[in-house]
Chains A and B, each alone.
Chain A
Amino acid sequence: MAASRFAKSVLLALFAAGAAPAFAQDTLKVGVLTIRSGPATPVGDDIIAGIETATRMYGPVLGRPVELIVEESQWNAQQAVTKATKLVQQNRVAAILGTSTVEALALLPVADRLGVPIVTSNSGSAAITRQNCNKWVFRTNAEDLMSAEALKYLLAQNPKLAAAKWFTLGHDYPFSRLVAGTVKQVTGANYVGDAFAPLDTADWSPFIARARASGATAIMMSVTLGTPLLQFVQQANEFGLTKEAQLVAPIGLPDWLVAKLGPLSTNIISAGSWAAWRYEEVEPATKQFNDAFFKQHGRVSGMQALQSASAALMLYNAITKAGSTDPDAIVKALETVDVRTPVGPLRFQPGGRQALVPMFLGPYEAVNPPRYGAQFAQVVEVFPASKSLPPTGPEVGCKLK
């Protein structure tokens, strides 16, 4: 029938359109897979912005200008796999940057099929670089078990927090459960309860009531970074909960979120941010990056931007060291590069895929005078990797083939 004949011609047209003629490219293509729509878009914006600034700072790689190709995952595992496949098959990228937990977990099982290095800078699930580690997937940010160590340290340092009645409140993600487990383990008898809200919760009042009813004086917020966290903090403040309980952010807050919270942010302590721009007070590489970022984007660099920039710099250094874009060569180079990044000197665990990266603890306070347009920011105390992570891959259960 005509319809099926039409179907055939549609498909033929599609294949013709898809058959890409091969011609030499001048640029070095790097893929960025991240979130570009939905409530977590600002996170994706920061990730891309950080990579852009790092790319500009580093300059050409192997004499070729770097071309960033951004694809979005819609925060959906299936889409992430499709788009990563597109980056590799259609755009022939040398590597993939970006990726948060959802994308990293989705790409892990198909990493061998993709066959390019994936350097994630925003995913927390420890398994990615421990028992499920994979030759292709590297990570520059601290993972959940490292964050657990930072939390223990925070409690040990802060007697008021150590004596508080702890409650974990967040979304129903494995990360939430892990955080709750850590807090429970560390605080023992002082753990008074937890509540894990469904994904699309906008009204936090029942959970605020639950925290209150349990007598909490410290709340670990494992709420998704983004709109939900903003809503939660605002509502917690409206209910007067912030007067009774100290809010703690397990991996810190992105600075765009801090800016939106404004004075409300001073109610919060970070139990181990993945990056902090005020590290510039100690590390010149951070200052250099902050200046360049502010010049290019007109705002202060945030946690995700600092991290993604570090990942990009690791990658570019590795490609330069490898002298080619051969995926195996890049992987080999990544295993040995030591780079001065905006989160400090960075290298990956020998025999592993996790970067020996520090975390940054501290409360949020007003910045006077404002720097890079930021009026509120985290005070930074460095928690080095040596205290949170065994030095080699095999020691954390990573067995690379």
Chain B
Amino acid sequence: MDLSFLFANTVNGAVYGAFLLLTSLGLSLVFGLGRVVNFAHGALYALGGYGLVAVMQRLGLGFWPALVVAPLLVVPIAIAIERVTIQPIRSRPEIYTLLVTFGVSFMVIGALEYVFGTATTLVEVPRLFAGTVVIFGNEFPIYRLAAAGLSLAVSGAVFAFVQFTPIGLRIRAVTDDPGMAEALGVNTTRLLTLVFGAAAGLAALAGALGAPIFAVHPEMGSGILLDSFLAVILGGLGNLPGSAIGAFFVALTKSIGGGYVADWSIAILFVVVAIALVFRPTGLFGRGRVA
């Protein structure tokens, strides 16, 4: 296979990486802030996809308005989840939030199956971005590139928010040293609820954005959950730049690996992550907080 093939896979990998970024950032923030491993993240992604479909079908909205509305519908649900199932057990060992969110994900997916049925819904690509574009002799769907661009823009906004705003400062403070931040008057409980809701919004946006590519079905979140998890662990929980690098690494490995070795590609990813963790248990860029 030649350079053209490598190029095609690299671009496709980068596109998926942009998606993964949206979900990984949220996952990383929530863990870094509250030491909460959110296993329901994939279910929130699925809720975003279903929100899009429901809004388009039941309210008759077009794709773009629906894209904005869907995440806004998911955020209150996520906040309710956080209040009811996560807050009460924050003082317990981390494994318990993982377990409870695991149960929540079953509930959400079961509810989606019950309400919408188990069938898959194909979502048409918005006409504005239909068709393909040729880059260096390779055809790429315009929508994928546009969606990736949008994901990058939103991710960039998240980065900027965390880096340059007062709330962002508090988030970074709590991630760094929760005890000190509390002592200085930061309401960590409220902050976590806020961040959890925002992370859910990002995941929902990713689900809605990805709907024309990956279709909408109840189990749509499980693949991206695992990938986001790996990305965040690889990069270092709570470390945003690290998670970004992790996301692109996972996406590119899957894409280039898939292109060259197909059935083995997933194993490569796991081997790399395992080796990386053995030598750097807190992630490649983690800052020494032993998980």
Chain A residues at the B interface, C-beta cutoff of 8 Å: 37-39, 41-42, 45, 172, 195-198, 200-203, 205-207, 209-210, 212-213, 226-227, 230-231, 234-235, 238-240, 256, 260-261
Closest to A229 in B: B120
Give me 24 A-to-B residue pairs in the complex whose CB atoms sit less than 8 angstroms apart, sorted by A's number.
A39-B219, A42-B120, A197-B262, A197-B263, A198-B262, A198-B266, A203-B12, A203-B213, A205-B15, A206-B255, A206-B258, A206-B259, A206-B265, A207-B259, A212-B139, A213-B2, A230-B122, A231-B214, A234-B215, A238-B125, A239-B139, A239-B141, A260-B119, A260-B120
Given contacts A200-B222, A202-B214, A212-B139, 15 further A-B contacts (CB under 8 A): A38-B118, A39-B219, A41-B119, A172-B262, A203-B254, A209-B138, A209-B259, A210-B262, A226-B120, A227-B217, A234-B213, A238-B125, A240-B132, A260-B119, A260-B122
B259 A210 Cβ-Cβ under 8 A = yes
B113 A37 Cβ-Cβ under 8 A = yes
Given the interface pairs A209-B259, A231-B214, A238-B125, the reply to whether A203 lies near B16 with Cβ below 8 Å is: yes
Chain A residues within 8 Å of B163, by CB: none
Select A206's contact among B140, B217, B256, beta carbons within 8 Å: B256
A209 B16 Cβ-Cβ under 8 A = no
Instruction: Indicate if B1 sits at the interface (CB-CB under 8 A).
Output: yes
B122 A41 Cβ-Cβ under 8 A = no
Q: Chain B interface secondary structure, helix, strand, loop or mixed?
A: helix
A41 B262 Cβ-Cβ under 8 A = no
Closest to B19 in A: A203
Chain A residues within 8 Å of B174, by CB: none
Instruction: Indicate if B223 sits at the interface (CB-CB under 8 A).
Output: yes
A-B pairs with CB below 8 Å: how many?
Answer: 113
Closest to A195 in B: B262
B263 A196 Cβ-Cβ under 8 A = yes
Instruction: Indicate if B4 sits at the interface (CB-CB under 8 A).
Output: yes
A230 B120 Cβ-Cβ under 8 A = yes
Given the interface pairs A196-B262, A206-B256, the reply to whether A42 lies near B119 with Cβ below 8 Å is: yes
CB-defined interface of B222-254 with A at 8 Å, one 1/0 digit per residue? 111000000000000000000000000000001
Number of B interface residues at 8 Å Cβ cutoff, please give it. Answer: 43
Given the interface pairs A198-B266, A202-B220, A240-B132, the reply to whether A37 lies near B256 with Cβ below 8 Å is: no
Chain A residues within 8 Å of B105, by CB: none
A213 B5 Cβ-Cβ under 8 A = yes
Whole-angstrom distance between the alpha carbons of A35 and B25 in the complex? 35
CB-defined interface of B71-113 with A at 8 Å, one 1/0 digit per residue? 0000000000000000000000000000000000000000001
Q: A45, A172, A195, A261 — which one has the most chain B CB atoms within 10 A of its CB? A: A195
Whole-angstrom distance between the alpha carbons of A38 and B118 in the complex? 7
Closest to A204 in B: B258
A206 B139 Cβ-Cβ under 8 A = no
Report B259 CB to chain A, min CB distance, Å: 4
Closest to B262 in A: A195
Select A239's contact among B2, B132, B222, beta carbons within 8 Å: B132
Whole-angstrom distance between the alpha carbons of A209 and B259 in the complex? 7
Closest to B113 in A: A37
B132 A235 Cβ-Cβ under 8 A = no
Whole-angstrom distance between the alpha carbons of A37 and B113 in the complex? 8
Whole-angstrom distance between the alpha carbons of A201 and B12 in the complex? 14
* Interface set, chain B 107-152, CB cutoff 8 A to A: 113, 118-122, 125, 132, 138-141, 143-144
B263 A198 Cβ-Cβ under 8 A = yes
Whole-angstrom distance between the alpha carbons of A256 and B118 in the complex? 12
CB-defined interface of B13-32 with A at 8 Å, one 1/0 digit per residue? 10110000000000000000
Instruction: Indicate if B175 sits at the interface (CB-CB under 8 A).
Output: no
